[in-house]
């Protein structure tokens, strides 16, 4: 791309031969036209449009939750345009043709707080899932009263992230427990920590459970 200096070309806009002239504010530019226009209906283009629909649908379930705030915080921290754009770029490649989703590729966390060491998830004797982590270990960007935030995706609703409001645990507790949904044999959990003020977040930790 080159800026137009000559006043004789100051009012030209549009395409002339292999070049395109256009204005941005009071400045005018010229760039070479693309040598080949890609087929908007090619398999690659169709897949990308499908992925865009999927990730936008998923984002609608995140809006208004702490997971959206985590994306906004991460966007500021990482110098991105917005939490929405960061969410799309992080997650668009998790979706494939049809309803295929690589749940391990989905990312919902922030970028300021640290995750605890030894984060695990198992099914206990009561048939519930149980999270455990190492508590009481000093960390530079962590506090004992950081809150645990957990969300789940069920394969029968792959474009809906459900924040589990009944999980009440702090970093200092070292454990948390939750129940399976009424139906389904597979569950995908996304866990992160949030500061007591609700302003800073850790990256998320992903677990896949089967029963």
Asked, for residue 66, whether it belongs to a domain, the answer is yes
Task: For residues 19 and 97, state if they share a domain.
Answer: no
pLDDT range class, residue 181, cuts 50, 70, 90: confident
Residues above pLDDT 70, as percent of the chain: 89
Average pLDDT, the chain: 87
The string of DSSP codes covering the chain is -EE---GGGTT--EEETTEEEEEETTEEEEEEPPSS---TTSHHHHHHHHHHHHHHHHHHHHTTSHHHHHHHHHHHHHT-S-HHHHHHHHHGGGB-STT-B-GGG-----SSSPPPSS-EEEE-TTS-EEEE---S---TT--TTPEEEEEEE-TTSTT--EE-TT---BGGG-EEEEPPPSS-SEEEEEEEEE-TTSS-BPPPEEEEEE-
Asked, for residue 38, whether it belongs to a domain, the answer is no
Asked, for residue 49, whether it belongs to a domain, the answer is yes
The pLDDT of 123-129, averaged and rounded, is: 84
- Can you give the pLDDT at residue 31? 79
Look at the chain and report how many structural domains it folds into.
Answer: 2
- Can you give the pLDDT at residue 1? 47
Over 70: is that where the pLDDT of 141 sits?
yes
Per-residue pLDDT of 1-14, as tens digits, reads 445 445 555 566 77
**Boundaries of domain holding 27:** 2-32
CATH number, domain with residue 172: 2.60.40.10
Asked, for residue 161, whether it belongs to a domain, the answer is yes
């Amino acid at each position: 791309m080159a800026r137009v200096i000559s006043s004789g070309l100051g009012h030209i806009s549009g395409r002339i031969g292999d070049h395109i002239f256009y204005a941005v504010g009071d400045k005018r530019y010229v760039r070479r036209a693309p040598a080949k226009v890609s087929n908007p209906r090619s398999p690659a283009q169709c897949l990308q449009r499908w992925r865009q629909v999927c990730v936008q649908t998923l984002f609608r379930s995140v809006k208004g939750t702490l997971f959206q705030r985590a994306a906004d915080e991460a966007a500021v921290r990482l110098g991105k345009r917005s939490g929405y754009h960061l969410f799309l770029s992080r997650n668009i490649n998790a979706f494939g043709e049809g309803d295929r989703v690589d749940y391990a590729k989905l990312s919902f966390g922030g970028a300021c707080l640290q995750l605890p060491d030894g984060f695990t998830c198992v099914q206990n004797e009561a048939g519930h899932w149980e999270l455990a982590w190492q508590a009481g270990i000093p960390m530079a960007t962590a506090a004992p009263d950081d809150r645990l935030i957990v969300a789940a995706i069920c394969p029968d609703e792959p474009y809906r992230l459900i924040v589990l409001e009944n999980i009440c645990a702090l970093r200092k507790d070292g454990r948390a427990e939750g129940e399976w949904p009424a139906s389904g044999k597979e569950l995908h959990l996304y866990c992160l920590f949030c500061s007591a003020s609700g302003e800073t977040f850790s990256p998320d930790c992903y677990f896949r459970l089967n029963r």
